[in-house]
Amino acid sequence: MFLFRSPSPYGNKSPFGSMFLSAGVLSLAFGLAILIAPDLLAYLVATFFIVMGVSLLSTWFSGRN
């Protein structure tokens, strides 16, 4: 009954491998950019807080209606 597995659309590879690779490369690039230009960290953190704030406000607004 369980002798054969259904074929995966990804073959033998998992889609998570490429996700970890791209996230790792992106993290490494951001880390090196921050080491080269420390002022960049302030812009990245400020952008993160702005995006998070807009997301929270839009969620609150959509839940209110």
Cα 31 to Cα 25: distance, rounded to the nearest angstrom? 10
pTM of the model: 0.52
Cα 40 to Cα 20: distance, rounded to the nearest angstrom? 24
Q: What is the pLDDT along the chain (65 residues), one digit of tens a residue?
A: 555 555 555 566 666 667 777 878 888 888 888 889 888 888 888 888 999 999 988 888 888 76
Q: Measured between alpha carbons, how far is residue 55 from residues 42, 47, 61, 62, 64 in Å?
A: 20, 12, 10, 11, 14
User: Which pLDDT belongs to residue 11?
Assistant: 61
- So where are the chain's domains? 38-65
User: Which pLDDT belongs to residue 63?
Assistant: 81
Q: Hunting for tokens 């790792």 — which residue is that? A: 24
User: Which pLDDT belongs to residue 24?
Assistant: 83
End-to-end CA distance of the chain: 51
